[in-house]
A and B are shown apart, each in its own frame.
Chain A
Amino acid sequence: MSIPVERETLSDASNPMGIEGVEYIEYRTARPQALGQVLELMGFRPVARHRSREVLLYRQGSMNLIINAHAGAGSHLQPVPEVPSIAAIAVRVRDAAAAHARAIELGAWDVPVRVAPMELHIPSIHGVGASRVYFVDRHREFSIYDVDFVPIPGVDPQPPAMSGLRWFGVVQYIGAGRTEDWVEFYRELFGFLELGEDRQAGVLPKGTVLRSPDGSLHLQLIEPDSVVEDGGEHFQRVAFGAPDVPAAAAALRERGVHFVETERLHVQTRGALTRSWLGGLMFELVHVDA
């Protein structure tokens, strides 16, 4: 049954930010070319460059992925990391200004915007560690990339997705005893809800899985195995949804991607995990219905 969207605002309580999907995920690294090569193995294609910064847009199917190697990126005080790290998630919302204002009102930390003339002002808040969450509402009438990016000549601006890959979610490492805190953070600010114990999410069913109210993004919160191993809090890896994980893994293998193959953890119908590149970059495949 299709539900007319505009008739009532019933969805507001369960989707207080009006989340409508993931606009992009951003990595930061001092080695953009090395990361770019890995992304190409994973089926992404570079499609555009930022007008004024060392920032590249990669794409496959519905997924936009940004590599930010801009050393002077004003809003990032920390040095650009060698190992690519997930620096931001940009979510599509009905009204970015309203979503941002609501988050600040509830106690999120604003990230001051520093844009060059004619660039888009994308409001954001601080997320886990040094990461940001951006709010984007200009995704219907035109693309935000039309403003800040220049297309790379001669490439298909809309490369198709390999094996139906799409965003599934992000794994977030958290401190010992911090699950309750972060569940509340994502519930209060974004309306994410915790999935039950019977969830089937990937090959590593550890921790707590949350889902955005529109179903477009999952977050898996993982505490350290022992308190001694506590390695800080950050986004650890991106997970792609795939309708047929073994087929997707086979296609990726042909391109040179290696998967973890141990007795406990290997490519199977419900998911797979790549081996790591560049000192810690890895991706997960998670079964989703086509």
Chain B
Amino acid sequence: MFIRDFGLDTITLAGALPGKLQAIREAGFSQVMLSARDIAGHAGGVDDAVACVRASGLRVTGFQVLRDFEGLSGHLHGYKVDVAKSMISMCKAVGAPLLLACSSTSQHASADLHAIGRDLRKLAMLALPHGIRIVYEGLSWGRHINEYTTAWQAVQLGDMPNLGLAIDSYHLFATRTALDGLDEIDPARIFFVQLSDFMWNEVRTPEERMATARTFRVFPGEGVHTPQLTELVLRLQRMGYAGDYSFEVFNDDYQQMPPSVVAARGRRAAEWLAEEVLRRSVPLPHEGRLDRTAALARRLSGPPAPIEA
């Protein structure tokens, strides 16, 4: 576990895409988790946003977020399939190997776990020819799936090689879900881990969880769940989790601070995790990642398949 295993989410920083990418890079990170908003809302258009990402030299960890996909039927399902196809196309264009899908909050969504699994399977099939993996996350205010344990059941029912689970420390702390459930999970099926904390002990209602999640997360080491966060990361390491970590820190205060200042806080969190929690040495910033990643990035940077639907 090195500092290069950690990245920053663009949603963590204020401003426009180029400034975010620059701040992330200058803070010493080598990877970025992109938000679709940063690409779709880029002043120069999507193609220019893609060019900015590629020019940044940052490896793209993944792309977020597809919401409320599963459990719908009829025209609602058809609408969400179209949205998913758009997200997959953008994901491919920016060279992201993962698309994050979070559990549905929709009142129209079915609670039937088999229906949820079937929809996740379809989503994974939509992404498959494009070389993209779907990573499913249980939001702590999700309507039917709000813990990683049930999200894992849905992923198992979906049963596709390119479908896996995202662990987000925020949701896990918000619902106070025990970490023991991790023992039941195949580490190879955990595709991605998001880390953040918050500053109070309890968020009892879904509304409170959502409000805190969207306005007052903090970096690992800055919140009140440091022991749990430490245990989570150590457990994942013991399990053999080999994927990426990213800091997804929605925070209204950070949105009013220069991206470089916030990215530097992220850098401190990465150093703390790498050096003190996991006790590994820190290689130089921007050191090249594994060949596997470079090869994947090259493959994804090829001409995109025509998308017309």
Contacts and interface: CB of A to CB of B under 8 A. Distances in A.
A106 B125 CA distance: 7
B61 to A, nearest CB: 17
Interface stretch (B20-28, B189-197, B227-235, B301-309): B301-309
Interface stretch (B126-134, B145-153, B213-221, B236-244): B126-134
A107 B243 CA distance: 26
B85 interface: yes
Contacts of B294: 227-228
Contacts, number: 77
B129 A188 contact: no
B122 A130 contact: no
B58 interface: no
Interface size class on chain A is 35 or more
B75 interface: no
- Chain A at the B interface: mostly helix, strand, loop or mixed? loop
Interface string B170-206: 0000000000000000000000000000000000000
B267 interface: no
B299 A112 contact: no
Contact of B125 (A76, A112, A188, A232): A188
Contacts of A77: 306, 308
Contact of A178 (B124, B131, B305): B131
Interface residues of B, number: 27
A230 B296 contact: yes
A176 B97 CA distance: 13
Q: Considering residues B122, B125, B294, B309, which has the most beta carbons from chain A within 10 angstroms of its beta carbon?
A: B125
A223 to B, nearest CB: 11
A228 B295 contact: yes
Interface string B271-309: 000000000000000000001101110110011011111
Contacts of A230: 295-296, 298-299
A146 interface: no
B124 A175 contact: no
Nearest to A79: B303
Contact of A128 (B126, B129, B298, B303): B129
B263 interface: no
B161 A233 contact: no
B299 A109 contact: no
Interface of B: 85, 121-126, 128-129, 131, 160-162, 291-292, 294-296, 298-299, 302-303, 305-309
